[in-house]
Structure 1
Amino acid sequence: MSDQIDFDQFLAVDIRVGTITRAEDFPEARKPAIKLWVDFGPEIGEKKSSAQITAHYTPDGLIGKQVVAVVNFPPRQIGPMKSEVLVLGLHDSAGGVVLLAPDHPVPNGERMC
């Protein structure tokens, strides 16, 4: 188990839902990855991310999928791309990443509660 944090530290992490509007292979990345463009609604807008999710996903299969992401980390340079959000997932038993997503549609930009 990790070190405990207090509730205010938890609230500092802004985790929101968004819908993938565009996805492309990212051959310039060191590890196999997909570039994502995610719409987080009018307050945040569309943000880019690089995700190492090729074990279970293809770019075409991601369009329209809702995902959960941290939206308040500083941008991070990934090869020639600046990743603006951290899309969240879990490792399966083989080490592939499975995306976290709501099981019912929710409005883009909705904050995790």
Structure 2
Amino acid sequence: MFRAFVKAARLRTLPLSISGILVGSAVAYADGYKNWQIFALALITTIGFQVLSNFASDYGDGMKGTDNHDRVGPERGLQSGAISPKQMLSAIKVTGIITFLIA
């Protein structure tokens, strides 16, 4: 089950989402602004929102039927049955709450 959620998180999407934080922080650092707490919180929040977005996308596509046996690309958690809609909805809620509290 844990592997199914890791796969549903689509970790390969994280580099693109954190690139803005890295570039912005590098520019701020070059200008003499150093706040590692803000950097860490921004990075964690960005990762949380990206994972939340990926979970929500899987849930929406699974419930609409967009992710079916005709889908081209990697199999999704809901589509394969590895994750139930109720489990994905719970993951969305937990990820959203944790990310909101960190943000």
> What TM-score results when the alignment is normalised by the length of structure 1?
0.22
Question: Which structure: greater strand fraction?
Answer: 1
Which one scores higher on RCO, CA 8 angstroms, separation ≥ 6? 2
Question: Which structure: greater helix fraction?
Answer: 2
